Amino acid sequence: MARMPSPVVEVPDFWDWHEMALERGWTDGLVVAPPTRERVDQMIAYLGRRPDEVVGVLGPKDGIATIEQIAINCVMAGCLPQHAPVVIAAVEAMLEPEFNLHGVQATTNPCAPLVIVNGPIVEELGFHAKEGAFGGGSRASASVGRAVRLILWNIGGGIPGETDMASQGQPAKYLFCAAENHEQSPWQPLHVERGFAESDSTVTVFACQSPHPLRVLGNADRILKLIAASLPVPAVNMFHAAGQFLLSFGARPAQELARAGYTKADVKKWVWENARFQVGWLRHSGILAEEQHMRYWGHGEEGAPDVATLSDETLLPMVRSVDMIHVAVIGGDSQWWMGFSPGWGNYGGYAVTKAIKRPR
């Protein structure tokens, strides 16, 4: 196939470029770097792949994500060439059927794809994993997260109010990328837990809401009880749609749990068994309702119980099984914070992990 490079336009200066990018809908409002032919070609040369190689088709626009198109968005996001393989792995992960990218982009839910980076590349490229892991301060985290968003915007065509119908959206729709804190985590890394070697570098994408901060100060027993008391609130997405959720532990509470002998698997099992909706409380508070969209797991989860027939003592799980709970150590050990990120529900956005394939 003959190479068909994207057209080049001439602009007098940076601010003319900025105005043109806004006018043509090439950005979601934030400033983006001009993707000069030279910069884009440098990135493609680093990757050693054909510019017209198709990585996939991204919904809802069914835009074709070629290596060149991905490289253009990476440059606009401020990526170095070394960041591009991370972005490509994230795109590949979002293309898996269980992620349901079209739905993630179009839904009324505010979820956004979170990119979690694992493996040696975290330190090599300087991804944020300790204090402020979900915030600013790392070129790698910021530019990779931003590139993924620009790809979803420009190639996938997720445009608010038109094809992206998230009622409110969330700040994570600008960028959402963090890394696991391997250095201070007492537990098996997320990518190893998901079948990769510790020496592999990976991305895990998961469509979720911004982490709701929970301050879980105390010994392991109190940390777990705080989690059990804080998660199962009836307006949380899992009440009506199950699906998956992520617990992102700061290093300090993770270390305290590990000191008491809890592995990641133990924590997930404990949370699944104990963070439950209480039928009696729901009934007496007047929240239980018969209408489909207000019912427990009323949004298509097979085998959902008829809550009206259950006793007040019944405890209902938040998600279908233990493996629908993800645990990662993201953030430093400066305080007892952790994050709770509900997923999109049983419609998709499920966590997918892919290896980062770097050029030889």
Partner 1 sequence: MGRATITICHAPFETAARRHATTLGLANLPLLIEPAPKGSNLTVNAPEIAARSLDRVIAALTRREG
Minimum distance between the CB of residue 166 and partner 1, rounded to whole angstroms?
Answer: 10
The bridge status of strand 352-355 relative to strand 202-208 is antiparallel
**CB 347 → partner 1: shortest distance, Å?**
13
Cβ closer to partner 1: 103 or 243? Answer: 103
Considering the complex, state which of residue 69 and residue 143 has its C-beta at the smaller distance from partner 1.
69
Give buried/exposed letters for 235-255 (b at 16+ CB in 10 A, else e): ebbbbbbbbbbbbbbbbbbbb
92 closest CA partner among 72, 61, 70, 122: 70
By CB under 8 A, the residues from 270 to 289 that bind partner 1 are 289
Residue 62 found at the interface with partner 1 (CB under 8 A):
yes
Handedness of CA 229, 235, 236, 240 (dihedral sign): positive
Q: Which is nearer to partner 1, 60 or 145 (CB)?
A: 60
Nearer to partner 1, 197 or 294 (CB): 294
- DSSP 8-state class, residue 343: B
Per rule CB under 8 A, is residue 61 in the interface with partner 1?
yes
Confirm or reject binding of residue 292 to partner 1 (CB under 8 A): yes
- The DSSP letter of residue 210 is P
219 interacts with partner 1 by CB under 8 A: no
Residue 106 binds partner 1, judged by CB under 8 A: yes
> Is 156 near partner 1 (CB under 8 A)?
no
Rounded Cα distance, 270 and 272, in Å: 5
List the one residue out of 217, 236, 237 whose CA is nearest residue 226: 217
Segment contacting partner 1 by CB under 8 A, of 120-128, 136-144, 290-298, 310-318: 290-298
Contacts with partner 1 by CB under 8 A: the residue count is 15
Gap between the Cα atoms of 214 and 218, Å rounded: 12
Is 268 one of the binding residues for partner 1 (CB under 8 A)?
no
308 binds partner 1 (CB under 8 A): no
CB within 8 Å of 180: residues ≥ 6 apart: 116, 117, 118, 122, 129, 189, 190, 191, 328, 329, 330
**Site residues, partner 1 (CB under 8 A):** 59-62, 106, 108, 157, 162-163, 165, 289, 291-294
